[in-house]
Structure 1
Amino acid sequence: MAVTHKENRLFRGVVIVVALLWSLVPVSGAHAVVVSDLYQATVPVSGQSESQLAKAHQAGLERVLVRVSGDRNVTGRDGMEAHLEDARSLLESSQMVSGDNNDDRLQMTFSARAVNRVLAETGAPVWGMNRPLTLAWIAVQDGGDRGLLVETGESSEQGWSALIRDRASVRGLPLVLPPADRASDRTLLSEVWGQFMGQISRASSGIDHDLLAVVRVIRRNGGWQASWQYRGRGIEQSGSVTADNPSALASALVDTLAGELASRYAVTGGAINTGPYLRLAVEGVRSPSDYAAIKRALSQLNPVESVGAMTVTPDRIVFRVEHTGEVAQLQQNIALDDRFRALDGDSGDRSGQEADTSPILSYRWQSAAVAPSGEADQ
């Protein structure tokens, strides 16, 4: 829906009102990531016949639907089979590329609008591009050997670290492992194995992250088991998964974590274009570039349909934000951008808005804080 509030006039007001404002803005440390490849997939193909390409199109669409929805079972929803059979119609582009072993692969980009429409028609959730960054501390014991998984740069065909990273990429879950220099820290390894969250939180200082996953992997009954704790930004979960082999265990672990986050941040596809609106008051707006950055940041959030300025006063702008889903989901998505610091209540002038009973959220803009990684590329 379009929102018309004479925004050009208001923008000129922003230029005049805030250009001379000056304040110090604190910096804090959230590092949500913009996942820019949600609608892309690359799958192996055994040939270029019509039937072989059709299978590749379907496999690619299945990957995209899971990544965008956050639901690994999304392709089993009623009505989804027809869309999968017509996967080619959702393509924006495709090309043949060579894989690591010189095998043929089909690289595809699907239409975001078309994929979201499919999810809406089947009542599936849509999880936006702005996603929290998980720092995963994972200790693995295989027989008598115990070690900590770290960023090693190993090839995608080897090792636990690569299995975890590859599965996280498939699910669109931004995930990092500790730097390689932590691998030799035996005390730290013991803390991860014991899942001492306080010590691990302190050890994570200085490493970009929004959430902490602390995982213990061990052989058990001829297979593998991973026990995990997941904490941060209102999340405190624990559990365990089992599998017959490392690859299956990595998939089960990442799928569980991705599902937990999707349940919090995704909005129901069926709610698209039918959402309510609220007022979002932002203080600390010092320049036209701040205004533009705020509007761009809000527009990129998954639950947001449209953003328009309603009122402009010195240091403060009230936006009208049309959104899908619950207000709490919108707040959770905004919290991933550390430039928005939530304020208690609405402390600003409400003149001219007495008849507006829509919800109002209040934030202070921290322009010097770190923007979600990848936002500048959008």
Structure 2
Amino acid sequence: MRFIGLLAVLLGWSLLAQAESLDTVQVPVDGRGDAQRQDALAEGLEQMLVRLSGQRDVLNEAVASEAASRLDRWVTRYDYNTLDDGSSALQARYDVNGLMAFMAEQGASVWGMPRPRVLLWLVEQGAGRGEMVVDGHPLYAQLVAQAQRRGLTLVIPKWDSEDLGRLNVADIRGRFDQQLRDASSRYPHELIAAAVLYQGEPATVSWRVLKDKSTLEDGREKTENDEEAVTALIDRVTDQLAARYAVKGAVSDLRTLLVVDQVDQLQDWFTLQQFLAGLSGMRRASLVQASGTTLTFGLDFSASDEQLRNLLELSPQLRACPDPAVAGPQWHYCWR
């Protein structure tokens, strides 16, 4: 019992750290009066609704107007910053957990934590052999800002000598996925995105999202310029991931029993419990039984089995065991 209590404490700290990565927005302002502040806070709330639902059209739903009518309820603090160009911005922090609970109650989609880390290899083709968009590239700041706007957890490669020894830009254009996976192995990630931006009129960006040896999503976007192409890339990738991982479900009395074998370390227990409890739509993940290296959890999940299995795929340690799955509401996984 002491161990389970320790898990609960550590879990609370960890989920708080994840929530803090989503809770802050920065909105440009042309003054610091009451009217400008309220307008900026309302705009920030709209960004939060899009970020936490994963869907841009959430602003057309009733939940958006309902949330806006309670604006002061969601703002936990705000301050003003002076930007590098001398202009001002209001930086506001919102109650992420309260907003997600409110959105779920209103029947809106909720994309909670944990969110998959997406390792992005983006090539700007240009007129030469192509250049990787990494720190120092003219499009890097746009890339980071747009990912933050949508709440997409990006990992940007270093593109140093180690990367260059395993991968070149032609491999990304040519879809040589083995080289891509080899180069990606040094970075923490759950998903890999490979994209090529072709300059021109229009600018075009082609992209794919990979998990293990499979392509989850792909697309091709045309825009007026490179900056808009980066925005379109982030929007489309985020839209597709949110459609896969965000949860919109009704309350159910059903409970899934998840049996996980080969969990033999204290840290593994904590990691598994942390992962399950933090999934979008997970109302409760209770440890029902511990026998040797086998743990059985009761999962009170608010949406479909398919959505739950999609979310379980986000764990790099969980895999469906090679034996046939147990029939009925009991699932059999192994820890690796």
TM-score computed with the length of structure 2 as normaliser: 0.83
What is the DSSP-based 3-state SS (H/G/I as helix, E as strand, rest coil) of the residue aligned with 2:56?
A: coil
2:75 counterpart of 1:97 = no
Distance 1:217 1:86 in 2: 41
Aligned twin of 1:362 = 332
Q: Does 1:180 align with 2:159?
A: yes
Match of 1:69 in 2: 53
Task: Write out aligned runs for 1:205-284 (5 A).
Answer: 205-220=185-200, 222-232=201-211, 235-268=215-248, 271=250, 274=252, 276-284=254-262
Q: Given the superposition, is the C-alpha separation of residues 281 and 184 from structure 1 closer, same or farther in structure 2, using an over 3 Å criterion? A: closer
Q: Which has the higher helix share?
A: 2
**Structure 1 residue 123 corresponds to structure 2 residue 107:** yes
SS at match of 1:247: helix
* Alignment deviations for residues 230-278 of structure 1 (CA, whole Å, 9 cap, x no partner): 221554332210111222111111110011111111101x53x546321
Measured against aligned partners, the alpha-carbon deviations of 1:205-251 in whole angstroms (never above 9, x if no partner) come to 3333322222221123x231111222215543322101112221111
Q: Is the 8 Å Cα contact of residues 197 and 229 (structure 2) preserved in structure 1? A: no
Tell me what 1:17 maps to.
none
1:71 partner amino acid: Q
Equivalent-residue separation in structure 2 for 1:113 and 1:134 (angstroms) = 23
Displacement of 1:149 after TM fit?
1.7
Partner residue of 2:9?
none
Kindly state the Cα deviation for residue 358 of structure 1 after the two structures are TM-superposed: 5.9
Amino acid at match of 1:365: W
**Structure 2: segments with no counterpart, 5+ residues:** 6-16
Q: Which amino acid aligns with 1:227?
A: S
Distance 1:363 1:186, change over 3 A: closer
1:147 to 107, 115, 130: 130
Q: Figure out how many residues of one structure are paired with residues of the other and give that number.
A: 323
Alpha-carbon distance in structure 1 between the residues aligned to 2:173 and 2:290? 53
- List, as ranges, runs of 4+ consecutive aligned residues in structure 1 with deviation greater than 6 Å: 183-187
Question: Identity over aligned residues, as a percent?
Answer: 27
Whether the 8 Å CA contact 1:277–1:358 is kept in 2: the answer is: no
| 8 Å contact from structure 2 (residues 55, 239) kept in 1 | yes
Per-residue deviation, 1:75: 1.0
Q: What TM-score comes out, normalization by structure 1 length?
A: 0.75
Distance 1:325 1:347 in 2: 20
2:295 maps to a residue whose letter is I
Q: 1:294 to 1:236 in 2, by over 3 A?
A: closer
- Residue in structure 2 matched with residue 5 of structure 1 by the alignment: none
Does 1 or 2 have the higher relative contact order (CA < 8 Å, sep 6+)? 1
Any conservation in 1 of the 2:143–2:231 contact (CA below 8 Å)? Answer: yes
Any idea what SS the aligned residue of 1:361 has? strand
Change (3 A) 1:343 1:107: same
User: After superposition, what is the alpha-carbon deviation per residue over 1:171-193, rounded to whole angstroms, capped at 9, x for unaligned?
Assistant: 11122233232687797122222
> Could you tell me whether the CA contact under 8 Å between 2:258 and 2:331 is conserved in 1?
yes
Distance between the aligned counterparts of 1:338 and 1:186, measured in 2? 23
CA RMSD in angstroms comes to 3.1
Q: Secondary structure at the residue paired with 1:131? A: coil
> Measured at CA, do residues 180 and 259 of structure 1 come closer, stay the same or move farther in structure 2, by a change above 3 Å?
same
Contact 2:46-2:64 within 8 A present in 1 as well:
no
